[in-house]
Amino acid sequence: IPIYRIRNFSIIAHVDHGKSTLADRLLEHTGAIKANSGHSQVLDKLQVERERGITVKAQSASIIYKYKEENYLLNLIDTPGHVDFSNEVSRSLSACQGVILLVDANEGVQAQTVANFYLAFGNDLVIVPVLNKIDLKNADPDRVCKQLQTLFDIEPTQVLRISAKLGVGIDDVLEAIIERLPAPKVNRQSAFKALLFDSWYDRYRGVLSLIYIKDGDVNVGDQITYYHTKKSYEVKTLAVLRPQEENVKKLVAGQIGLIGCNMRSSQEAHIGDTIHKINVDIEPLPGFKPARPMVFAGIYPFDQSQHVSLRNAIEKLVLNDSAVTVAVDTSPALGQGWRLGFLGLLHLEVFSQRLQQEYDAEPILTAPSVTYKLKLKETKQTIKQGDVIYVSNPVHFPDYLQIAEYYEPMVIGTIITPDKYLGSVISLCMEKRGVQRNATNIDNDRVMLQFDLPLCEIVLDFHDTLKTISSGYASFDYEDNGYQQTHLVKLQILLNGTPVDELSSIIHSSRVDVIGRKMVSSLKDIIPRQLIQIAIQAVVNGKVIARETLKAYRKDVTAKLYGGDVTRRMKLLAQQTAGKKRMRAIANVSLPREAFIDVLKRS
């Protein structure tokens, strides 16, 4: 197919607005898959995606569509549905010339619609606005058109109205893609150059990369090089996705396809990398930026006997997700485990959910934390003057006397809410140290708010709280916004004067009193009384800021028996000893593992 009859596009939408349904309908309509094949949502391959209705890994499909007596090649590039994966989204988008901006005609524009619009707009893509679900009784397409006009300057006459579920308006969508999108700007005569925008692991063929061929062509048997890793391979497999794999001998500029070259580790396939022929000088494609983890969590097997199976499960998942970083970590209370880094909260959630599906016991996941940036003072202890270090683990937080400046990661949060919840939404953001950027009325009773927020304030329960205070109507999305100067402290917990490392945390100094008091009082509830009295203290920079005392108490499990049966008495005593084994002793205080888990999950 000549280049002028190729169109590359993505569908972008807020979660549940019908992206997968529309993708399926487009495939059915062009004969790529059979209608009602029983598989709903062919492109959502992973189980998590089906359950949560979000797309995690980008998948693509090439379809042929007849328009004015000519066959067109339409490459649908499925993007992940959430801005946590905005790296992946923008990589996928760089293979496109346009997007379908899909909006639910009942729910209207939501926070992710806005984030996705700006991602596409910023990439200079043609935007085809489409309202979905017009079959719904409560659909109000005119109102949603108005929102699109207010927010994005989109002419209502440009907006298509469809029902992906019922298959209404599908031809209009396909025709709009052909008429409004330009053909890809590629050159088949130049040296081979391709953009890697997704990859996954295949047990038999190693890592498969999804590529967009920008220039030239590539053949099975060619020697190729990945520009940024500088590693070379022989091309073993080439395929197009229809959406099933169909092997081909050659891929040419303008096409999207799969390339396999016996690569053993996904760490060699960096999303955004440029592939070229060995020993040929090329200018790499722009957009290569290694994914940077933003959110960290500790992960431990529930029981050390499950250590190996958990490690295997993590290794398997990381093969498919090179954005996750893994470092070994040990905690005296929880044993051997790992500290994992993620692109964002949803990424963390999706990963741990996949882990639970592949690994039969539930691993222990600690409360997520973020990475702080610290500028050190010029003291003897520091290696270089004005050194900058990144710390996410409180254990590695230096003494405050060594720190000159503190920085924390920030995000720009976008919230769309019905205006009757405006007051509570703003209070919530202020409570989370948010600073309002702007507020826009997007129609008669809906407002879009933008706030600068510290990332650490939204990693725990922000989204859930927002949903609760707005009866589920407010939507939220965020994007990274670099580091901002702040003031942090390390909060330590001491039991009878001995610090408990795994209970320490890095927090904003304004939060110290509240969190310190909360920690000691919940520890008082959780720790069982023991033979000795226990002092529970919260300490910051050597100063005690909160304290509770747990009185001594002898738990006599046999007291309730009247003399009674000796074997029964022995059995109870044995149970008590077994219970003690699962405890960690700190300064003669036994802490049940459950106490740690409880506190670590909440902190």
How far is residue 23's CA from residue 305's CA, in Å, rounded to a whole number?
44
135 is in an annotated binding site: yes
Q: Number of residues in contact with ligand GDP, rule: CB under 6 A?
A: 17
DSSP 37-70: -S-S-TT--SHHHHHHT---S--EEEEEEEETTE
132 is in an annotated binding site: yes
How far is residue 504's CA from residue 392's CA, in Å, rounded to a whole number?
12
Q: Which is nearer to ligand GDP, 350 or 523 (CB)?
A: 350
Q: Does 15 bind ligand GDP (CB under 6 A)?
A: yes
| DSSP, res 494 | E
| Contact of residue 432 among Mg ion, ligand GDP, none (CB under 5-8 Å per partner type) | none
269 is in an annotated binding site: no
Piece of 15-23, 141-149, 229-237, 561-569 that binds ligand GDP (CB under 6 A): 15-23
We find the least distance from the C-beta atom of residue 56 to ligand GDP, in angstroms, to be: 11
Helix and strand totals (H; E) in the chain: 14, 34
Q: Please, which residues have CB within 8 angstroms of residue 103's CB and are 6 or more apart in sequence? A: 13, 14, 17, 109, 113, 129, 130, 131, 132, 144, 148
Q: Does 21 bind ligand GDP (CB under 6 A)?
A: yes
Q: Which is nearer to ligand GDP, 21 or 371 (CB)?
A: 21
Q: Does 53 bind ligand GDP (CB under 6 A)?
A: yes
| Contact of residue 64 among ligand GDP, Mg ion, none (CB under 5-8 Å per partner type) | none
13 is in an annotated binding site: yes
In this structure, is the dihedral angle defined by the CA atoms of residues 544, 549, 552 and 556, taken in order, positive or negative? negative
We find the least distance from the C-beta atom of residue 55 to Mg ion, in angstroms, to be: 5
CA distances to 26, 136, 478 from 166, rounded to whole Å, are 12, 11, 33
| Contact of residue 195 among Mg ion, ligand GDP, none (CB under 5-8 Å per partner type) | none
134 is in an annotated binding site: yes
We find the least distance from the C-beta atom of residue 198 to ligand GDP, in angstroms, to be: 17
Q: Which is nearer to ligand GDP, 82 or 373 (CB)?
A: 82
Q: Please, which residues have CB within 8 angstroms of residue 133's CB and are 6 or more apart in sequence? A: 17, 18, 104, 105, 106, 139, 163, 164, 165
Q: Which is nearer to Mg ion, 81 or 516 (CB)?
A: 81
Site string for Mg ion, 55-84 (x = CB under 5 A): x-----------------------------
Q: Are 362 and 310 in contact (CB under 8 A)?
A: no
Coil, helix or strand at residue 174 = helix
Residue among 8, 10, 11, 20 that touches Mg ion (CB under 5 A): 20
Piece of 16-24, 170-178, 331-339, 351-359 that binds ligand GDP (CB under 6 A): 16-24
16 is in an annotated binding site: yes
| DSSP, res 25 | H
526 is in an annotated binding site: no
Q: Which two tokens stand for residue 301?
A: 């097997």
Work out the number of other CB atoms within 10 angstroms of the CB of residue 434: 22
Among positions 101-160, residues that touch ligand GDP (CB under 6 A) are: 132-133, 135-136
| Contact of residue 163 among ligand GDP, Mg ion, none (CB under 5-8 Å per partner type) | ligand GDP
Burial of 201-233, coded b for 16+ CB within 10 Å and e otherwise, reads: beeeebbbbbbbbbbbbbebebebbbbeeeeeb
Residue among 16, 245, 405, 419 that touches ligand GDP (CB under 6 A): 16
Q: Does 20 bind ligand GDP (CB under 6 A)?
A: yes
Q: Please, which residues have CB within 8 angstroms of residue 153's CB and are 6 or more apart in sequence? A: none
Q: Please, which residues have CB within 8 angstroms of residue 594's CB and are 6 or more apart in sequence? A: 526
Task: Find, among 221, 250, 247, the residue nearest to 234 by Cα.
Answer: 221
Piece of 18-26, 333-341, 522-530, 566-574 that binds ligand GDP (CB under 6 A): 18-26
Q: Which is nearer to ligand GDP, 11 or 586 (CB)?
A: 11
Give the footprint of ligand GDP on this chain (CB under 6 A).
Answer: 13, 15-21, 53, 81, 132-133, 135-136, 163-165
Per the annotation, binding residues are: 13-20, 78-82, 132-135
Give the footprint of Mg ion on this chain (CB under 5 A).
Answer: 20, 55
Per the annotation, binding residues for GTP are: 13-20, 78-82, 132-135
